[in-house]
Amino acid sequence: MALAGPRRTEIKMIERLSSRQVTFSKRRKGLFNKAADLSLRCGAEIAVIVFSNTNKMYEFSSTTMEHILSRYINHGAAAGFSMESPEKKPQDEPADKYELSSCDTLSAILLLQEHIAALNLDCSRMMGMQLDGLSLKELNQLEEQIREGIESIEKRKIEVQDYYKYKPSYLLEYSNHLDRNNSQFFYGTSSSAVSDCTESGQSNDFVDTSLHL
Amino acid sequence: MALAGPRRTEIKMIERLSSRQVTFSKRRKGLFNKAADLSLRCGAEIAVIVFSNTNKMYEFSSTTMEHILSRYINHGAAAGFSMESPEKKPQDEPADKYELSSCDTLSAILLLQEHIAALNLDCSRMMGMQLDGLSLKELNQLEEQIREGIESIEKRKIEVQDYYKYKPSYLLEYSNHLDRNNSQFFYGTSSSAVSDCTESGQSNDFVDTSLHL
DNA sequence: GACTATGTATAACC
DNA sequence: GGTTATACATAGTC
């Protein structure tokens, strides 16, 4: 008689390789089933990509992977631009931003590069570089911005210190895991909802980091 | 007294819109949790993309979406990406040498988005946001970086003040204009391919403003 | 958004 | 790869 069931299993990396592989197979299958279920029941379009420990790739997609990915790309490309030009009002989203078709790849790339240039400039300036052309007023704004950043960081440092002081280890598990992978996402916030056509503001994917100078 | 539980549910599209939406929310959350579990327990890298009926997008990714997707693209490109054409795909085709394949374009965009995500993260952190997952040491490094930035800005402010002091204003405007146009630097560093197999930590070195945390 | 009865996924074992 | 006991997910309901 098997007395075993899924005992209170702590959520952490399984050490034993064989167990890990078995668990991976079973759970991966379960995950794909869940995805298929959700897709069918709710008419959702779902893609799941999994890379195992051993760099093997597994995928599920309710329609075509390519279709979902290009849909994702277009969505992200559109949603990613909130502020490449500081002159523009960030809240007013002109309709044309969401009209990127999959054929507009070249312009999408150009826009992304523009976006990168702007972000690069912002980053550089916060590090005290590329300050040419900023007026005194703008320099003051920049400095103010940065000082607020430092304040937040100081606060966070205290939080982290307390956190480690009183750490419940089960809370650290996932964030530690993510730390190892150098991810910016924390467990609860890695899922985000962004509307396809009409967006009313909230977007977790791309934080508006523009300095608006 | 609620006598209900999940009765045997046939797997088909849920007709009632409200039920479908509720179910979608619950199951999507469940799916993402499963993905997170699997990722953590087995050290897998997982991405899930979901488009709802109403074209809302939701995503989960154990690391960054861009990283996983470009890994997917590269993997697929190397090992039989063509599912629809069972025939072989010779890579040495002089014909499309000067033509970007859709795969290349997609991966180019992903690379750019990954770049943007990294820059966004850097900028956010310098502004005191997105600090989750940074260790105390990293927070200190970040703060140090920023303080150096402030120092440079202070110095620049003095320069500018002197500039105003000793320069006729009609010359000032014009040179300010020139400064501004010259200050935008481009995405000059050639974008190196992101290595897939070796997870040697952060690989956004192509950003010269990277914080290297 | 919380509750609860019930179905489902799955860890340990074969 | 199959079985079973148990934890987990969740449909219907408030």
Q: What is the pLDDT of residues A22-78, one digit of tens each?
A: 999 999 999 999 999 999 999 999 999 999 999 999 999 999 898 898 888 877 554
Chain B stretch 154-213, residues whose beta carbon is closer than 8 A to a beta carbon of chain A: 154, 156-157, 160-161, 164, 176, 179-187, 196-197, 199, 201-202, 207-209
Q: Which residue is nearest to nucleotide D11 (CA to C1')?
A: B6
Bridge partner residues of B58 (DSSP): A193, B50
A47 → closest Cβ in B20, B49, B142: B49
pTM: 0.62
Residue A104 confidence (pLDDT):
61
**A193: which residues sit within 8 A by CB, 6+ positions away?**
A202, B56, B57, B58
B44 → closest Cβ in A24, A190, A209: A24
Residue B8 confidence (pLDDT):
73
User: How many angstroms separate the CA of B154 from the C1' of C5?
Assistant: 66
A72 → closest Cβ in B40, B49, B156: B49
Query: How far is residue A98's CA from residue B185's CA, in Å, rounded to a whole number?
Result: 27
B64 in reach of chain A (CB within 8 A): yes
Chain B residues within 8 A of A173 when measuring between CB atoms: 40
User: How many angstroms separate the CA of B55 from the C1' of C8?
Assistant: 29
Summarised one tens digit per residue, pLDDT across range B174-213 is 556 655 554 444 333 333 333 333 333 333 333 345 554 5
User: How many angstroms separate the CA of A49 from the C1' of D11?
Assistant: 28
CA distances to A36, A39, B12, B19, B20 from B15, in Å: 17, 14, 9, 8, 7
The residue with greater pLDDT, A144 or A198, is: A144
Query: How far is residue B30's CA from residue B24's CA, in Å, rounded to a whole number?
Result: 10
